[in-house]
Amino acid sequence: MTLTDLWVGFPLLVLVGGILVLMIGVSIVRTHKLALGLCLLTLVLSLAAHDIALDHIPTAGYELFGLLHISGIQVFFNAMFLLGAIVTALFAYPYFDARMERSEEFYILLLTATAGAIVVAAATHFASFILGLEILSISLYAMIAYPRQSRGPLEAAAKYLVLSAVASSAILMGMALIYAASGTMAFTELNLSP
């Protein structure tokens, strides 16, 4: 791992570190405002870390560990994911506050889903793609089922789980067939395969 790897991966490291801090913070003090504050702080710091990462990314982009490709366009999509998560967190606070529901875990799930979306957008290998996709979708299962007063959200999450399991198995089968035909799982090498 080089220093450039660290700078380029810094926004994702900030996000993962924020998830850990939020998990520890929520386990010690269960307050809705603290969870929202830590979530927003993590998202804003990760957004600011993209400015640092842009200074270290060459024009053609940077290959991170052979699994992720970070470029200017990918940083733009990361910023869109982070801004969407900030808006979601700001709208979720009054929603859960009005229902007097313990909702600190929602913000952990939101950060985890955002991290998964960032990994999917930067993936250059089937392994990183499926890992990011599953991190994103598992977080979304719980977020869909989060309102616990009625059966509707739980039913919707169960249907999404079944649909996602079928889709994931189809994706994995397709990946296996592509690997059998080409002998590689890297997206860049698939372009070169006959």
Asked if the model's pLDDT at residue 192 lies above 70, the reply is: no
Asked if the model's pLDDT at residue 8 lies above 70, the reply is: yes
Residue 194, pLDDT score: 58
Closest by CA position to 109, among listed 157, 143, 132: 143
User: Taking a C-beta distance cutoff of 8 angstroms, is the pair 22, 93 a contact?
Assistant: no
Range with lowest mean pLDDT among 14-18, 27-31, 88-92: 27-31
* Average of per-residue pLDDT across 31-57: 89
Radius of gyration (C-alpha) of the chain in whole angstroms: 18
Residue 9, pLDDT score: 80
Question: Looking at per-residue confidence, does 32 or 110 come out higher?
Answer: 110
3-state helix, strand, coil in the chain (%, to 5): 80, 5, 20
Asked if the model's pLDDT at residue 187 lies above 70, the reply is: yes
Residue 193, pLDDT score: 54
Residue 154, pLDDT score: 84
Beta pairing class for 62-64 and 68-70: antiparallel
Question: Looking at per-residue confidence, does 129 or 9 come out higher?
Answer: 129
Within 10 angstroms of residue 61's Cβ, the number of other Cβ atoms is 18
What DSSP designation does 185 have?
Answer: -
* Average of per-residue pLDDT across 25-29: 90
Q: For the chain, which residues make up each domain, given as ranges? A: 3-190
Exposure string over 35-47, b if 16+ CB within 10 A, otherwise e: bbbbbbebbebbb
Element (H, E) at 63: strand 62-64
Question: Looking at per-residue confidence, does 93 or 55 come out higher?
Answer: 93
Question: Looking at per-residue confidence, does 84 or 154 come out higher?
Answer: 84
